Structure 1
Amino acid sequence: MHLIIHHWDTDGITSAALLVRALEMEGFTNMTAPIGEFRFDERIWNAIEKADRLYVLDFNVPNEVEKVKVPTLFIDHHTQPRIKNPLVEQINPSLGGKYLPANSLVVSEHFGIWNAWSALGAVGDVGEKAFELEIIRKLLGREGISREEALRLVELIDSNYITMDREAVEEAVEALLSHPIKELLEYEPWVKKTEAIREAIDGAVSGVEERNGFAIVHFESPFNIISKVARKLVWELGYRGAVVINGNFHGKAQVYFRISPEEAQRIDMAGVIARVKALGTNSGGKREVLGCICERDKIGDVLTIINEYLG
């Protein structure tokens, strides 16, 4: 059995479809990890035990790949160490100091297969910036896909993981393989999910409070929309920053703090992240973003720290 483990987003899904097409696989099983968790769970390890060959695509889990006991092709574009496991062939341009914005492009380059899926992976990972690359414009143009249609296709494919539907993420690979790409713009399961996500985002944004130019939003949703709500508030609605709290995300709380580039000059986000982490939360981020998952009774402690930075 050929087993493909891939990331849950558009880049992971298109990478898997490209691999199947490149190798002309007759029979394969594709799986994704529990959404949001960078590990192989028991379900995946059980499948690996039965596999003759394993493929790991766009899923940055070098520690897991070191442990596999079947011949494995590990294709990725994230920064990662060189794999020592002799059963693993590792294809990653970053090991040679080369950066590619999407794993779909690494798969395409490795196998010499180029189509709209290659481009959609990049649009999924870097958004509008992908259209600055001539290869992306050319691949989409060849199949008559406009910029708006490419962005819409990514929104549709990503709706599966945003609604936390692991099974639908896995089914998305077969949907790509069995439908002409433009037909998927009307693919009903994805269209329905996307509408539900938009409604949830609009509902969250409608409850915004403002404090000193910062947006504060509390909502409850099973959808993983917290970063999208924050982006909308800062990028589209022009707030200095946004503090977004999903008070019940599958029994946990999510807190997301995004600031504008101007505020990043003033606010030491690395310091905020370190202080929130010290509370025992699962937190991370970058210069303009803090993301945190914690027990619901810790929300107040996290917000106390963030409030100090709102001026």
Structure 2
Amino acid sequence: MLIIHHWDADGITSAALTVKALNLEDFVNITPPIGEFRFDDRIKKYIEKAEKIYVLDLNLPQEVEDIEKETIFIDHHIQKKIKNPYVKQINPVLDGKDFPSASFVVSEYFSNWDYLSALGAVGDIGERAFNIPKVLELLNLEGIGKEDALKLVQLIDSNYIIMDRESVEKAVKVVLELEPKEILEYEEWNKNLEKINDAIENAISNIKVKEGFAFIEFESKFNIISKVARKVVWEMSYDGAIVVNKDFHGKAQIYFRISPNLVDKIKMNDIINTLKTKGFNAGGKKDVLGCILEKDDVDEVLKIINEYLR
């Protein structure tokens, strides 16, 4: 059994929920190169060995079109229908429904819910998840308050933010084996968090604002770009954030997030499709866009985003 999952809290909890639902003892879980939306050679070698494959919280339908093995593809991102007959695609978006996280889709698919289902939602939409009765119900069953839920997500996410792919993959077993209180005290992840928070504050110190939108440029080896955008939009209440990491391990990153009240005005899917048409490695949802690119292409991508904003 091979589980390929996203590197963030939603992907990790989705993988853990799948393991629990299927009572798996013999499985391999693996994540793509952090920050890159593709299957690398390492993943492809594992696919060759696998008997059955689960792909969770990864907006990569194109990567499974040629797989000739039973594959369950579970996601909640905007995407086209997969044509490969070997692939069973579970995505409520295809039916016009909106789920807060892949963890919710996984839990509904298996009819198996617990606090990890809720953490996946908190990981993807932040404090807005606490407006969902099911999230509060699941957290309350474990005696987890809102503050602890947010901290748990930060700790789980810390592995991908410091760019440690191996630790991301190990995190699935950590959340399966430890109780929530033990995770909150997990020393390795808490040390990660201290370094990350310093880097985020440094990035936000370079903020520029125009007509309610924040524009931030910085350089960091940490994958903090989505965290910076979330903090600016969710906590600092800007209409949107365009964030650029100008030097991320030799590449550049661009992340564009908008507040919920602009979702109907700014068609994020149109921007994502335009970037993909032009050959850029971009993905996202109705309120967020992420792109990793060559440094020389930053101005071109920003120009496309700005054209839509006008």
Place the TM-score, normalised by the shorter chain, in its bin. Answer: 0.7 to 0.9
- The CA distance in 1 between the partners of 2:95 and 2:210, in whole Å, is 47
3-state SS in 1 of match to 2:3: strand
Q: Which amino acid aligns with 1:183?
A: E
Q: How does 1:69-88 map to 2 (within 5 A)?
A: 69-88=68-87
Counterpart in the other structure of 2:48: 49
Given that 1:247 and 1:254 are in contact with CA atoms closer than 8 Å, whether structure 2 keeps it comes out as: yes
State the TM-score, normalizing by the size of structure 1: 0.81
Given that 2:199 and 2:220 are in contact with CA atoms closer than 8 Å, whether structure 1 keeps it comes out as: yes
Given that 2:203 and 2:218 are in contact with CA atoms closer than 8 Å, whether structure 1 keeps it comes out as: yes
State the TM-score, normalizing by the size of structure 2: 0.82
- The CA distance in 2 between the partners of 1:278 and 1:82, in whole Å, is 18
Q: Could you say if the C-alpha distance between residues 211 and 71 of structure 1 is closer, same or farther in structure 2, counting changes exceeding 3 Å?
A: closer
Counterpart in the other structure of 1:166: 165
Identical-residue share of aligned pairs (%):
59
3-state SS in 1 of match to 2:24: coil
Q: Could you say if the C-alpha distance between residues 49 and 204 of structure 1 is closer, same or farther in structure 2, counting changes exceeding 3 Å?
A: same
- The CA distance in 1 between the partners of 2:82 and 2:308, in whole Å, is 41
Deviation at 1:234, TM superposition (A): 5.3
Q: Quick check: which has more Rg, 1 or 2?
A: 1
- The CA distance in 1 between the partners of 2:45 and 2:306, in whole Å, is 45
CA deviation profile, 1:236-289 (whole Å, cap 9, x unmatched): 456676664423111123345667789999999999999999998656778887
Counterpart in the other structure of 1:60: 59
3-state SS in 1 of match to 2:20: helix
Given that 2:36 and 2:292 are in contact with CA atoms closer than 8 Å, whether structure 1 keeps it comes out as: no
Q: Could you say if the C-alpha distance between residues 253 and 183 of structure 1 is closer, same or farther in structure 2, counting changes exceeding 3 Å?
A: same
Deviation at 1:178, TM superposition (A): 1.0
Moved more, 47-56 or 34-43: 34-43
Moved more, 264-273 or 58-67: 264-273
Counterpart in the other structure of 2:151: 152
3-state SS in 1 of match to 2:201: helix
3-state SS in 2 of match to 1:150: helix
CA deviation profile, 1:10-36 (whole Å, cap 9, x unmatched): 111111111111111111100011122
Q: Which amino acid aligns with 1:203?
A: N
Q: Could you say if the C-alpha distance between residues 230 and 88 of structure 1 is closer, same or farther in structure 2, counting changes exceeding 3 Å?
A: closer
Deviation at 1:89, TM superposition (A): 2.8
Given that 1:214 and 1:310 are in contact with CA atoms closer than 8 Å, whether structure 2 keeps it comes out as: no
Deviation at 1:137, TM superposition (A): 0.9
Moved more, 296-305 or 69-78: 296-305
- The CA distance in 1 between the partners of 2:65 and 2:174, in whole Å, is 31
Q: Could you say if the C-alpha distance between residues 251 and 109 of structure 1 is closer, same or farther in structure 2, counting changes exceeding 3 Å?
A: same
Q: Could you say if the C-alpha distance between residues 27 and 217 of structure 1 is closer, same or farther in structure 2, counting changes exceeding 3 Å?
A: same
- The CA distance in 1 between the partners of 2:269 and 2:59, in whole Å, is 23
- The CA distance in 1 between the partners of 2:74 and 2:273, in whole Å, is 32
Determine if the alignment matches structure 1 residue 90 to structure 2 residue 92.
Answer: no
Q: Could you say if the C-alpha distance between residues 167 and 300 of structure 1 is closer, same or farther in structure 2, counting changes exceeding 3 Å?
A: same
Moved more, 174-183 or 206-215: 206-215
- The CA distance in 2 between the partners of 1:140 and 1:255, in whole Å, is 33
Deviation at 1:106, TM superposition (A): 2.0
Q: Which has the higher contact order (CA 8 A, sep 6+)?
A: 2
3-state SS in 1 of match to 2:53: strand
- The CA distance in 1 between the partners of 2:213 and 2:143, in whole Å, is 41
CA deviation profile, 1:112-153 (whole Å, cap 9, x unmatched): 221101111111122222212221111110100001111111
Counterpart in the other structure of 1:121: 120
Moved more, 250-259 or 173-182: 250-259
Q: Which amino acid aligns with 2:157?
A: D
- The CA distance in 2 between the partners of 1:278 and 1:55, in whole Å, is 28
Counterpart in the other structure of 1:15: 14
Counterpart in the other structure of 1:132: 131
Moved more, 265-274 or 47-56: 265-274
- The CA distance in 1 between the partners of 2:94 and 2:302, in whole Å, is 39
Q: Which amino acid aligns with 2:204?
A: V
Deviation at 1:213, TM superposition (A): 7.9
Counterpart in the other structure of 2:35: 36
Q: Could you say if the C-alpha distance between residues 296 and 173 of structure 1 is closer, same or farther in structure 2, counting changes exceeding 3 Å?
A: same
Counterpart in the other structure of 2:188: 189
